[in-house]
A and B are shown apart, each in its own frame.
Chain A
């Protein structure tokens, strides 16, 4: 049964001194996926951008490039969209290909699908190779284990080993420190999951998006945590399963993607798909406020 959502993501910046000029790249418009249809999507920038244009990046995500030339001390960026989700179909984990064979296939990608996946095996700037991660992941890679069982176990382990703590990490915290503290937020957990899989030659990508929060109903305790975090955009990881494709797993909530996750886009790590990047002239000290609402439309 499909569900339609209305998402509103508002980001406000306040600066100590005026920003005289700024260039931005925003990943706030959702993309089409096999299970997500985008009904409508708008991006409103205040003060008005002197130039604004959408472009598709190498991963197929929509990025909005914009320039603001009016001096300002406050900026708000509001993304609003409606999207319809249908329940994804997943393969039986026990019937998926052994992880060793998957890695073998990815090392010699002879189709364009495999080629795209193999680009997600290599380390990336936020996820460098790391022996500690390898050691942590090792026990999930028993001989001949099907790839999706490996990925699922890693998701379970991250969920039970790590504590959700918005104050433990920031954007500069290296992965091994997150691993040592066993604390972090959705972004850290996604990065850890990806790092574990890539260490063994498997393809994993970082997915950015939103999760239904049940603010009113209080149905899902885990999902509720998201609203506590303040920055309510969400992230998880996706693993490549041969003969099937990509399967999304959310280690923060210990679940496969159903009809509660809305996808903005994906990349090798956070850096490829960060919601808003900017290079500003002036500005001084600044504060950011993020407000997200994910509403299921009946």
Chain B
């Protein structure tokens, strides 16, 4: 133990001790930090840790950071001379990898000159012939690169992994730095690590310089293509994108039309010039790169081949991650550059050579074994002898230990370092910092501080405010992606649907479980009919008490069963899914309310009493949500799409309610108008207007044609028209939303032409009843179809971008 604190002089793993040298002295580059640590004390550091955890979690929303990942507030401190070695070694390696990729995707001289055996390339699934002879942007394959390093017991750093496809971790690196500088500014000032933010400027410059000459726009459009399809927002990606000032796109946001890639915006398709991808090679284009899945962007490799979009990294770079290829890096470097590698990697041996095979078999238990496709394997010696070309053995490094602050004290933890590089002016620039992944009983990560030992160099530390200067582009009037609009639309529809369903079920269960005397006999049958009209119950003769009993059971199922496709579980999980995808568009409170709805559902309720309590709770929750949405959400375009979804859904529900009247007639009883009014929340309005018992013509009028009733059909259609008109006005393109508007106008005309007085005869003359009833049913069905058509048209033109309403940009053809 070190005399100053309870930190071991010798690491229990036998690895290199980053903090203390073999004489028991704290290493020079750690002294400032450790002095500060001792001054502040462990208690203060516990506070730092708690504070940093809070800051980390505020942004990191269920992303890569979970309970099992812990944030180490003790930085990994790296002396400048070590960083220099790493830096030179990694730059050399990046250039070498670039040379290798250039060769293997063109002439394959490495194979014909017998430097590497052909199967190393051709047997590797990451080698894609479809990508051969594609010229990468500026002729550089490896645009961005990251490497994982470990320090072996002899004090030398060794490369253990190359990240050549989607080198992740930069977002986390920034966040790390910001949090530490905020939580312990004094220590941060004193230890003064090198700045890292100029690196992002370099990345930004690099990305914006890559646009092709065939581009269609003045200002290049650069997006980060997220790999988190259907999952929640990745903090790493969103933070990186935000710091680069580019937007995030999911594969479904992008589409190939003609020979370009476009971002699907609500009002138009915007040509994309540069894609910073976070998706592996084979998942990028389902049409050409992988036959097995539908993920990715169909036709992307075609556009790449045409040179009309720049990918960073270019497609095909995954090949360089192959362990088999790594076994030949030394020879390849000698072949290309007549040099040795400055920074050794973990010793890697391909068993296709007999002396290497013998070594691997002899040391089988000490090595990491991969097959030629890069999968980790644990073969027997016999299996290797039978098929030696298929196996690669890699040395396991006994990695060094660095201090982590865990449970209030410093502990040694095995460490792996990740460094990032970006191509710049024919060479590479390295980020002067990075991530230190640590392993104790849990895995964690921390910052890497490159420490200058001489004070002369100008190392003004980065501050939180420094990076908080956002480079995010100003949102122009219609900067709304189709995906966001689509999700907002469906969020609105599902919210409205669940609210209506909750009201309907509550009223119905209340009546059905109350004593006989207080209930009109047709009330329950009417309510159940409505539930079957909205598709929640199968059609039946609801006047039969046995049928009612069964229906009641089915209603219970809607509330409690996770498997009911029209039940609350399904609806609420859809809502949660949407809310997660829209997380950056919703306030924290709104998001929380939306995602918590599912927890309101009872697991196994014993009584209808408890079911009713649960429904009350849901309705209360929904009211709170509606209030938040009404009061707190900016009336931007995304809000309008949610509003359109809500209004459309409410319109369809009102139509279902109205259909209840002819439906009950057809089934031989009179619909209970009281319950209709109650479910549609219009009972008070009716009383105020008419001060009498509800009659069919007036109820019908109130629910369909009364523009003053916020629950009426016409009110919803007017709101739809209002929102679409605003969107139309603010969109830059003529002709947009014309079809949608004309459908709405048509619907309005039909509603206004409904002759309510004809319904007066309904009650008086039983013979006419059937005829009038079916006539109205036809009208209602037609209206329903038209509303549905409105929805389909909007979907095609704004979300899918096909159909006849949309013109493609820069295309003279009539749409």
Q: Which A positions have Cβ atoms within 8 angstroms of B?
A: 20-21, 23-25, 50-51, 53, 55, 57-59, 65, 67, 69-71, 106-112, 114-115, 118-119, 121-123, 125, 129, 267-268, 271-272, 274, 277-279, 281
Contact = CB atoms under 8 A, between A and B. Distances in A.
Given A65-B302, A123-B123, A25 B287 contact: yes
A21 B802 contact: yes
Contact of B256 (A23, A58, A106, A110): A23
B257 A112 contact: no
Contact of A115 (B108, B117, B256): B108
B325 to A, nearest CB: 14
A121 B802 contact: no
A20 B800 contact: yes
A20 B133 contact: no
A103 B800 CA distance: 52
Q: Which among A21, A53, A129 has the greatest number of chain B C-beta atoms within 10 A?
A: A21
Contacts of A50: 257-258
A268 B128 CA distance: 11
B288 interface: yes
A29 to B, nearest CB: 16
Contact of A58 (B112, B130, B291): B130
A71 B118 contact: no
B299 A67 contact: yes
B298 interface: yes
B129 A71 contact: no
B126 to A, nearest CB: 12
7 contacts: A23-B256, A23-B287, A23-B299, A51-B257, A55-B302, A115-B111, A115-B112
B547 interface: no
Contacts of A272: 129
B258 A122 contact: no
A63 to B, nearest CB: 9
B803 A20 contact: yes
B17 to A, nearest CB: 46
A253 to B, nearest CB: 27
A125 B800 contact: no
A58 to B, nearest CB: 4
A121 B122 contact: yes
B125 interface: yes
Nearest to A126: B291
A109 B302 contact: no
Contact of B288 (A25, A51, A121): A25
B129 A277 contact: no
Contacts of A268: 129
Given A23-B256, A58-B130, A108-B114, A122 B119 contact: yes
A277 B133 CA distance: 22
B138 to A, nearest CB: 22
Contacts, number: 93
Contacts of B133: 58
A132 to B, nearest CB: 15
B167 interface: no
B118 A109 contact: yes
A277 B114 contact: no
A106 B291 CA distance: 28
Nearest to B131: A58
Contacts of A109: 111-112, 118
Nearest to A118: B118
Interface string B132-151: 11000000000000000000
B800 to A, nearest CB: 5
B298 A122 contact: no
B802 A110 contact: no
Contacts of B89: none
B305 interface: yes
Which of A50, A53, A67, A106 has most chain B Cβ within 10 Å?
A67
Contacts of B288: 25
B111 A71 contact: no
B286 interface: yes
Contact of B305 (A55, A71, A107, A129): A55
Given A20-B803, A55-B305, A268-B129, 4 more contacts: A109-B112, A109-B118, A125-B291, A278-B287
Contact of A110 (B114, B119, B291): B114
B259 interface: yes
A279 B258 contact: no
Nearest to B123: A122
Contact of B802 (A70, A111, A112): A70
Interface string B754-771: 000000000000000000
A205 to B, nearest CB: 12
A115 B803 contact: no
A192 B288 CA distance: 24
B23 to A, nearest CB: 54
Contacts of A110: 112-114
Of A65, A278, A281, most buried by chain B (CB within 10 Å of CB) is A65
**In the complex, which of the residues B108, B123, B129, B802 has the most CB atoms of chain A within 10 Å of its own CB atom?**
B802
Nearest to B795: A20
B294 interface: yes
B122 A57 contact: no
B796 interface: yes
Interface string B237-260: 000000000000000000111110
Nearest to A116: B108
A109 B113 CA distance: 8
A279 B287 contact: yes
A24 B299 CA distance: 8
Given A58-B133, A110-B114, A279-B286, A69 B291 contact: no
Given A25-B288, A272-B129, A67 B256 contact: yes
Contacts of A69: 257, 802
A122 B122 contact: yes
Contact of A119 (B118, B286, B299): B118
A57 B119 contact: no
Interface in B758-813: 796, 800-803
Contact of B796 (A71, A118, A129): A71
Contacts of B800: 20-21, 281
Closest 10 CB pairs of A and B: A122-B122, A23-B298, A279-B298, A58-B129, A122-B123, A58-B132, A118-B118, A51-B258, A69-B802, A23-B299
A1 to B, nearest CB: 36
